[in-house]
Amino acid sequence: MKQSFFCSRKEGLHMSYFTRSQNKKATFEYEILDKYTAGLVLWGHEVKSVREGNVNFEGALVTVLGGEACVVNLHIGRYSHQSQKYNEKEARRTRKLLLHKKEVFKLAQAISLKGRFAVPLA
């Protein structure tokens, strides 16, 4: 089993506290060493799409870019009542995680170790 470092996130405080979707594959494939609870910066139609369950964690990673924790390659699909002007490139855009500076620093140190990386769990 590979050694890995995982980061868990929630959709935000304005939404309900239960998890909308999970990355079940990650819990089976990797060893979970640590978990963080973080907010995720989303656009309005993305919040509605997450509520519908249009989230795909396949290939999603957490990285630290410019001192900020970000989720890369997390696919949030099109909202069902959204207009046809939907760009698929926006579905996998980089999204900022809301963490304290100390947590971002610990995350950056853990990711820098060989064989460890961060993946969103929920």
Can you give the CATH number for the domain in which 73 is found? 2.40.280.10
Residue 83 resides in a domain? yes
In a domain, 119, yes or no: no
* Residue 33: inside a domain: yes
Looking at the 3D structure of the chain, how many domains does it have? 1
Mean pLDDT of 35-63: 84
pLDDT tens-digit profile of 104-122?
999 898 888 888 777 777 7
Long-range contacts of 19-24 (CB under 8 A, 24+ apart): 19/122, 20/50, 20/51, 20/53, 20/55, 21/50, 21/53, 21/55, 21/57, 21/122, 22/57, 22/121, 22/122, 23/57, 23/60, 23/119, 23/120, 23/121, 23/122
Task: Report yes or no on 92 lying in a domain.
Answer: yes
Domain range for 85: 2-112
| Residue 9, in any domain of the structure | yes
Tell me whether residue 103 is in a domain. yes
- The answer to whether residue 50 sits within a structural domain is yes
Give per-residue pLDDT as tens, 64-103: 999 999 999 888 888 888 776 666 667 778 889 999 999 9
Q: State what percent of residues in the chain have pLDDT above 70.
A: 75
Q: Is residue 121 part of a domain?
A: no
Mean pLDDT of the chain: 76
